[in-house]
Chains A and B, each alone.
Chain A
Amino acid sequence: MPLVSLDRVRKAYGSGAARQLVLDELSLSMEAGEFTVVLGPSGCGKTTLLNLIGGLDTADAGRVRACGLDLTGASRAELTAYRARSVGFIFQFYNLLPTLTAAENVEAGIRVAGVDREAAREAARSLLARVGLGPLAGRFPSQLSGGEQQRVAIARALAKRPRLLLADEPTGNLDEETAGGVLELMRELNEETGVTFVVVSHNPVLAEAGRRVVRLSHGRLAEPETI
C-alpha cells in the first residue's frame, strides 16, 4: 500500500469568474522511502499538492490518504496530530522561529511529537551534528547564513522521525553552491533514514536530485514521469 495516494483530487481557489482550478482530477501515489521531485511552472499546483499531502489544506473533491490517514475527512485535531507526528516540513524561507536557537528550533520540532526534554535535546544535538551545524547549535537564526538556516530547518523536519518529509522550494532562496549542498544532504538523509521525501520546485535542475520526477501542468500530470 502506498504511503501517499491521491485519487482524482480537485482543488480550486476563488469563486465565480475569479475561480481558478489548481488541481484537476489529479491521481498520484508515492511509496515509502521514495525521493520524489515535483516539477512545474509557477501556478501549476505544486504547492497546493504539497499542502494537501501535508494536511495544511483540504481537497474540494477526491481523496487524499497519507501515512494511513484519510486526510479528506480528517478533523482539525486529527490533522494537527498528523502534522505533529508523521510529517516534517521544509520551507523556502526556512521559517525558523527567530527567538529560538538552532538547537531549540530543532527541539521545538521534536517535543511537539511528545518526546521528553532530555531526549529531544540529545536528538537535536545529534541531528545538528549530522547536518554539519554542531558548533552552531547555540546560535539564533539571524546569526546563521541562509544555507545554515535551511540545514537547521531540515534537521527540525527530520527530528520527530516523520514518515514523510515535504519540502517546498527548499533551495529557492539559496545560491547555486549552497543549494547543491542542501540537495545532497536531503538525498543522503533519504538513504540513511528511509524517510519519504517530496520536494516541489520550479527549478528543473532539481530533477537530477530525484529518483522519481513528477511534472505538473495546469493541475494535471504533464507527461509520463521519469524514474
Chain B
Amino acid sequence: MLWRKAVRDLRAMGMRAALIVVVIGAGAGTAAGISLALHDVERTRDSFYAEQRLADLDIRLARPLPPGPLLARARRVRAHPAETRLVLSGRTLLPGRAQVAAEAVGMSPAAALDRLAVTAGRGLSAAAPRGALLDPDFAERFQLGPGDRLRLGLGGRRLALRVRGLARSPEYLLATANPDYLVPQKGSLAVVFLPRASLQRLSSAGRRVNDLVVDLPGGHAGRRAERLSAGLPAARIIPRSQQYSLRLTDADIDAFSTFAPVMGLVFALVGLLLIVLSLRRLVNSQRRELGALLALGYPPRTVVATVLLPAAMLGLGGALLALAATVAVGRLVAVEYTNTVGFPGTAHSLAAGPLALAAGLALGATLLAALVPAWRLSRLEPTQAMRGERLASFGLPGWLQRATALGPPALVYATRGLLRRPVLSAATVVSLAAAIGLGAALNILISSTDSSVDAEFAEQGWTYSADLARPLPAGRAVALARRAGASTVEPTVKGPASLRSDSGFADVQLAGLPARPALLRLDLTAGAGPAPGRAVLSEQTAESLGVGVGEAIVVRTPAARAKLAVAGIARTLATRSTYLPRAQAGRLLGAPGQATTVLVAAGPRAAGRLRRQPGVARVSSKASAQAAERDLVEELTGLISILQAISLGVGGLFLVSTLALSYLDRRGEFATLAALGYGRRQIGAAVAGEALTQTAIAAALSIPLGLAIAAPLSDSIARAWFQIGLHPEPPNFVWVIVPALVLALLAVVHATRRALRLDIAATVRARLIG
C-alpha cells in the first residue's frame, strides 16, 4: 500500500518532484564534482611525473665534461638510472619574428629519466639527427608544427633544424625564461629536444656533456646527492622537490585544493538548505492525509514511513543525478585545469570518495530533511493533523507594513511575498549571494594577481636580465653589458643554497646584490635591506622557516656554510630568493667577486646585442614576464569562467526552483489576481518584483560575502604561490551580478508564463491560498 501511495504521490507532484530531484542532484553533485576534479588533477600530476620519470636530481655543470667519470660518480652513490645530457642555451632565429631565449636539450632518444610525452608528430630518433621536438607552448606561440623549419643560435653557431614533433617534458612542463619568478611564462623559452649525439656534433661539444640526471632510490638521498655533486663545477643543483615545473604545479594544485573545499562547501550548504526547505514543504503539504492515516489507527511509524518512502525515491533520483553531475563537473573542471597547466592529458577516475559523497549527501540529506518534519507530524493528535496545513498567519509590525505599502499593488504583493516565507526567502537570497560571492571572489583573486604582479614589476628598474653562460668577474660582466649598449648595469650572483632555522628548512636561491641596488628593488615589509651577515628573506621563506627580523638562520651551499641573521622580509614574486650583499653571496657560492647574471636598463636593440654576446646564455625581458603573466591570467580566466558558470548555474537553478515552488504555493493567488482583471504585465511585475528583489539583495550581500570568501583564498595563494593581497574592483562583481540578474529574469519569464496559463476558473475555486 505504502509503495503504491509513494509512486502515486510522486506522480501527482509532477514538475515539483522533478525540481526537487534536480535541486538534490545539482547541490550534491557540484560539491562532489569539485572534489572529483581535485582528485583527477592530483592523479594527472602524479601519473604524469611518474610515467615521464622526473629525475630525483639534476646537476647542471658550468662547463662540459666527459660523460664517463660522471656516470662512474653516479654509480658510486648507487644512483640508478643515471643519464648524461648536453643542455645549451641560445636564442631562436625565426625570420621576421621577435627572438626568444632557447634551450637545446641533447638527450638519449630512449631516455629513462625526464622522458618526453609526444603530443604531436613523432619522437626523437638517432636516424633523424636534425629532427627536433619542441615544447608545445613555444610551438603554439610561434605557430610551429611538425615539418616546419627552425633555426637556433647557440653560441657562435647556427643550427638549422626540422620540427619532428611536439613533446611535453616533466622538466619543462612550464618552461620559462626566468625561473626566479614563480609566474610561468608559457612560450617564453624555446625548449628544443634533440638526440644527444646530434647536438654534440652540431655544437662541436664533442662527446662532452654538461648535465647529469639521476634517480636516487633507497635512503639518505640528500647525503648521496651532496656526495655526487661535491667537487663538480656545478652551475645548478636541482633536487626533484625544487624542480620548477613540479614546484609550480604543486603550488597551483595547492592553491586549487584550497579553492575546492570552499567551493564544495558553498555548494553543499546551499544544496542542503534547499533540500531541507523543499522536503519540509512537501511533508507539510501532506499533513491532512497523514492526519487521516493517524485517525484510521495507523501507528506513527507508518506515517513516518509514508513520508520517507517517496522522499527516499526522490533522494534516489537525486543521488543518481548527483553521480552524473559529479562526473560531469569533475571532468569539465579537471580537463580545463590540466589543459591550463599543460599536462598532455587528464587522468580521469571514478574515485569512490567523491562519488560516495555525492550519493551520500543526496540520499542522506533528503532522508534527514524528510524525517524531521515527518516525525514531528506523527507526534501530533490526528485531529490536529487533519486540520491540514495551517494557513499562514501573516502579520507585520506597523513600520514594516507601512514601508512595504509603497508602490502599485503588484509591487506591494511582491515585497510582502518575500516576507511571507522569510526562511525560504532568506535561503534563496543566501544561496544566490553565495553563488555570486563565489564568482566575484574568483574574479577578485584574478584581478589581485594581475595588479600585484604589475605593481611588483613596476617597482623594478631593470628592463632585461641576462644570465651568463658561466660566472664572470663582476667588472667584466658589467663591461660586457655596457659594450652591448646598456646604460645602467647591475651585476648579481645567484646560486642554490639551503636555509635552516630552529623550526624549519628551505631550499632557496641565494642572490647577491650591490650595496645600493638601483635596478632590483626590494619591497621590504619588515626590517632593512641586506648587510654583511644579514639576509633578506621572502615572506614565504620566512614563514616556512618560522623566523622574523633579527632571528638567526644557517645558510649552506655546495661550497660553504655560514650563520646569518634575518635583516628584513620582502614581498617578491621571486619567492625562493634570499638576498645578501654581493660580496658575501659570491663567497658563499664559491664565486667570490663574480657575477652570474646582469640586470640592465636598456632598450630592445641593446638587448639584442646582449643576446648575441658569446658569454650570455639567455636574456629575458621584464615586458615578456608581464605579458606572460597576462597570458597566464587569461588562461586561468577560462577555468574561472567554468567555475563561475557552474556557480551561477546552481544559483540560478535554486532561484528557478524557489520561484517554481513559490508559484505552486500561490497559484490560487495568481488566479485571483487574474480574476480581478490583472493582466500579463501586472502579474509579471509581481513575479519579477519578488525575484529581482531577491537577486538585488543577494547581489548586495555578495559583496561582503565575496570579500569574505576571497580573503582566506588569497592567504592560501600567498602561502602556495606569492602574496597577491586583495584588490577588489567594481567589475569583479558586475561581471557576476549581471548574469545573475539575467538568470533571474529568465526564471521570472518562466514563472510568469506558467501563471498566465493557469485555468483561472478551476484554480480560484480551490482552497490554495496559504
Contacts and interface: CB of A to CB of B under 8 A. Distances in A.
Interface of A: 47-48, 51, 54, 56-57, 77, 80-85, 87, 89, 91-93, 95-101, 104, 107-109, 111-113, 138, 140-143, 156, 160, 168
Most chain B C-beta atoms within 10 Å of own C-beta, residue among A51, A57, A89, A97: A97
A56 B760 contact: yes
B675 A56 contact: yes
Contact of B677 (A51, A81, A141): A81
Nearest to A96: B769
Contacts of B396: 140
B420 A140 contact: no
Given A95-B769, A98-B420, A99-B420, A104 B409 contact: yes
Given A83-B677, A107-B409, A93 B767 contact: yes
B409 A100 contact: yes
Contact of A51 (B392, B680, B761): B761
Which 6 pairs from chain A and chain B are nearest by CB?
A84-B677, A99-B416, A83-B677, A51-B761, A56-B761, A108-B409
Interface in B637-689: 668-669, 672-680, 682
B395 A142 contact: yes
A92 B765 contact: yes
B393 A113 contact: no
Nearest to B669: A97
Given A95-B764, A100-B416, A54 B676 contact: no
7 contacts: A80-B680, A89-B764, A97-B672, A98-B769, A99-B413, A101-B401, A113-B677
B593 interface: no
A126 B41 CA distance: 72
Interface in B751-770: 760-761, 764-765, 767, 769-770
A142 B393 contact: yes
Contacts of A140: 394-396
B417 interface: yes
A98 B394 contact: yes
Contact of B770 (A80, A92, A98, A113): A98
Q: Which of A57, A87, A89, A112 has the most B CB atoms < 10 Å from its CB?
A: A112
B403 interface: no
Interface in B387-417: 391-396, 401, 405, 408-409, 412-413, 416-417
A1 to B, nearest CB: 24
Nearest to B418: A99
B425 to A, nearest CB: 12
Contacts of A160: 677
Nearest to A13: B762
Given A112-B676, A112-B682, 17 more contacts: A47-B761, A80-B678, A80-B680, A83-B674, A89-B764, A91-B764, A95-B669, A97-B669, A98-B392, A98-B420, A98-B770, A99-B413, A99-B416, A100-B409, A112-B409, A112-B677, A112-B678
A57 B761 contact: yes
Contacts of B292: none
A104 B405 contact: yes
B55 to A, nearest CB: 71
B419 interface: yes
Given A95-B668, A99-B420, A104 B412 contact: yes
